[in-house]
Amino acid sequence: MMSPSVARGVFNLRILKIDGCQSMEEVITEEEQQGEEIMTNEPLFPLLQELRLQSLPWLGHFFVTKHALEFPFLREVTIHDCREMETFVQQGFVSLERVNNDDEVNNKVMFNSKVSFPSLEELYINGANSISDLCSYQLPTAHFSKLEILNVKECAKLRNLMSPSVARGVLNLRILEINDCQSMEEAITEEEQEEEEIITNEPLFPLLEELKLQRLPKLRHFFLAKRALEFPFLRVVCIHDCPEMKTFVQQGSVSTPSLESVNNDDEVKVVDLNKVMFNSKVSCPSLEELELDRAESISALCSHKLPTAYLSKLAKLYVSNCAKLRNLMSPSVARGALNLRILEIKDCQSMEEVITEEEQQGEEMTNEFLFPLLEDLELKGLPKLGNFFLTKHALEFPFLRVVRIHDCPEMMTFVQQGSLSTPCLKRVNNDNEVKVDDLNRAMFNSKVSCHSLEDLTIHWANSITVLCSYQLPTAYFSKLVILAVRNCGKLRNLMSPSVARGVLNLRILNIAGCQSMEEVITLEEQQGKTIMTNEPVFPRLEELQLGRLPKLRHFFLTEHALKFPFLREVKIDDCPEMKTFVQQEISVSTPILKWVNRDDEVKVDDLNKWTQQKFNSKAGQGTTDGYQSEAKDGDESKATDGEKSKASDGDESEASDDDESEATYGDESEAADEDGSEATESRKGEPA
């Protein structure tokens, strides 16, 4: 761009941006032959505050000089897509191996002691594919003392960020992000030989608030240290797609192969340190948000020996695609997570339980709350999950509003009774719900309470036969607004009449693809039947959708009239055995029902009578209102209301998929997602 002599005359330059210059090799050229010794001691751009170098494919460096440079007011540096840039300031005598006993002089370190940024606050390095280290290990400790934001991305050869001595001088760093660095093995390197015992007692990034490590395929750990580390202000941690990362801070002394315990701490086993993301060697007392994705080498999120208050401020925890993760944490650690509001676990192929039962001592602790402020829980794609927690004591989640259980085929119950070792057990504490048979098949029983639950989705839970125990308190689901149950192959019914009458606020009910369901409300209530059946069932229900339930005979078998005063929309599809909504001659009043099977012209005052007329009168034709008959003689019948006939297996499958996604279940799930999961949607954008 210019010569050194011209550059030193630019006294007032505050902002320098160079973008898209395809042939630029250096910013300040070294074409100054005379008087160099005098002039190079003068400042270069002495008032520069912001520097941006972008899309300069041939840029090798900013300046070649024999002398140190200082930019006293430079606050922000961005280097983006400068793939040949090996260092910021290059030493003039590149053939020299040592200068003043300084072995940092190489061509692959972005920052060395020849350049100083005492006021630098923000540093962005993106696409610098030629550097192997961000900065020299020989930098002064205070080199980045004012740095607040460090973002490093797509530096293919970068092996590590900096040495411990340099890192401990970064006293004001608040945000650290490292993304898409294919060769990075550790963030803080262990290549510090001298004075290590003294330095490691000093804090590392003491003001760090947010840490993101993403798509680092060779990263094994953040730092290898002999001593415990504390990040007192760290609030957000995101570890995404780091398949080789086995622990956050690795114990330095793992070289003794038979080591089992350090300082009488049996968590520090080699096997644990290699599989547990968080152990007692690192402390994050202010951590509020933690996201782990594709950490494929860990078997547990944290050591079972962590202090109870370790995660005391954690509010959001997202775990996904951790293939070897068997459980999340111990009961003692879980009970210390007093502020957890959102918990999502997805696509962890080996997870067997969320809270492990590996707590041998202090059993009296199980009477304490577990995640007492939990509001939103999602368990999805966990093929080996058997239960959320195995315990002898009842659990209460007083603020839990949203529960989604999706594709957990082995999950038989939410909270499993701990004392199932007696094979003939039929009663516990005179509670006849606690049969072994029931506990293994009911998703919810009286051992867990979620009295604030508003949105419940159960999908692909193929091991349950009933949604909840018949002995649940009437008010168990009193605040439930949306209930969606889909593709639960063994589910025979939803709940008992007594439980159903306690669901006072249910507005949307969707049941689809449950091959074994025979009735929605079961008849298995023997006592107090006459009294209880006079009470309303789902008194605020507005939308009802039943689809692909081949064994469903009726919604509810009762001797008393039913009334749904707010029911506006009904859709019943592919329920071939359903001949009546309730028992014959029993009226089902729906005074404001306007929309039945996509036909807004149908006026229905008695849903039971309508069901009998439509399903029985057209049984021979195989048609329901708004739906297609089966194809005859292999021909596909004409589609009605945009839906396809079932002419062949392929057509049937296609129609089924279309029905679910477009009308029958798409409407419901869309409503559920929009109405019931506002908290889930809003959480992504709300501040941690």
Say which residue, 332 or 53, is predicted with more confidence: 53
Total domain count, the chain: 3
H-state helical runs in 526-600? 529-532
Q: What's the mean per-residue pLDDT of the chain?
A: 74
Whether 215 maps to a domain, the answer reads no
- For the stretch 252-298, pLDDT in tens is 433 323 333 333 333 333 333 346 788 777 888 889 999 999 988 88
The closest alpha carbon to 579, from 629, 616, 621, 626, belongs to 616
In the prediction, which pLDDT does 389 show?
85
Q: Are residues 347 and 442 in the same domain?
A: no
Q: Are residues 171 and 45 in the same domain?
A: yes
Whether 157 maps to a domain, the answer reads yes
Whether 76 maps to a domain, the answer reads yes
Widest Cα–Cα separation across the chain: 110
Q: Are residues 178 and 241 in the same domain?
A: no
351, amino acid identity: M
Whether 263 maps to a domain, the answer reads no
Whether 687 maps to a domain, the answer reads no
Residue at a domain's end among 312, 339, 374: 374
> Would the pLDDT of 605 be above 80?
no
Compute the chain's Rg from CA coordinates. 33
SS (H, E, C) 594-620: CEECCECCCCCCEHHHHHHHHHHHCCC
Say which residue, 28 or 548, is predicted with more confidence: 548
- For the stretch 310-346, pLDDT in tens is 888 999 999 999 999 998 888 888 888 999 999 999 9
Whether 304 maps to a domain, the answer reads yes
pTM for the model stands at 0.74
Whether 464 maps to a domain, the answer reads yes
> Would the pLDDT of 435 be above 90?
no
Residue at a domain's end among 374, 407, 440: 374
- For the stretch 551-572, pLDDT in tens is 999 998 887 888 899 999 999 9
- Count how many residues are written for the chain: 688
> pLDDT grade, residue 599 (50/70/90)?
low
Domain range holding 423? 399-630+647-678
- For the stretch 173-214, pLDDT in tens is 999 999 999 999 999 887 544 444 444 567 789 999 999 999
The set of residues, in sequence order, having a beta carbon less than 8 Å from that of 455 and lying 6+ positions away, is 401, 402, 403, 404, 480, 481, 482, 672, 675, 676, 677
Q: Are residues 332 and 412 in the same domain?
A: no
Q: Are residues 498 and 608 in the same domain?
A: yes
Q: Are residues 434 and 351 in the same domain?
A: no
110-128 average pLDDT score? 86
Q: Are residues 230 and 187 in the same domain?
A: no
* DSSP classification of residue 478: T
Percent of the chain predicted with pLDDT > 70: 71
485-499 average pLDDT score? 90
> Would the pLDDT of 521 be above 60?
yes
Q: Are residues 141 and 10 in the same domain?
A: yes
Q: How many alpha carbons lie under 13 Å from residue 632 in its C-beta half-sphere?
A: 7
Q: Are residues 183 and 323 in the same domain?
A: no
Highest mean pLDDT among 162-166, 420-424, 453-457, 521-525: 453-457
Q: Are residues 527 and 623 in the same domain?
A: yes
656-672 average pLDDT score? 40
**Measured in Å, how far apart are the chain's first and last C-alpha atoms?**
44
SS3 258: coil
Q: Are residues 491 and 446 in the same domain?
A: yes
In the prediction, which pLDDT does 604 show?
59
In the prediction, which pLDDT does 603 show?
53
Residue at a domain's end among 340, 374, 408: 374
> Would the pLDDT of 648 be above 70?
no
Q: Are residues 566 and 612 in the same domain?
A: yes
Sequence-ordered strand ranges (E) for 326-451: 342-346, 353-355, 376-380, 387-391, 395-396, 402-406, 415-417, 442-444, 448-449
Sheet-wide strand order for 415-417: 353-355, 387-391, 415-417
Whether 300 maps to a domain, the answer reads yes
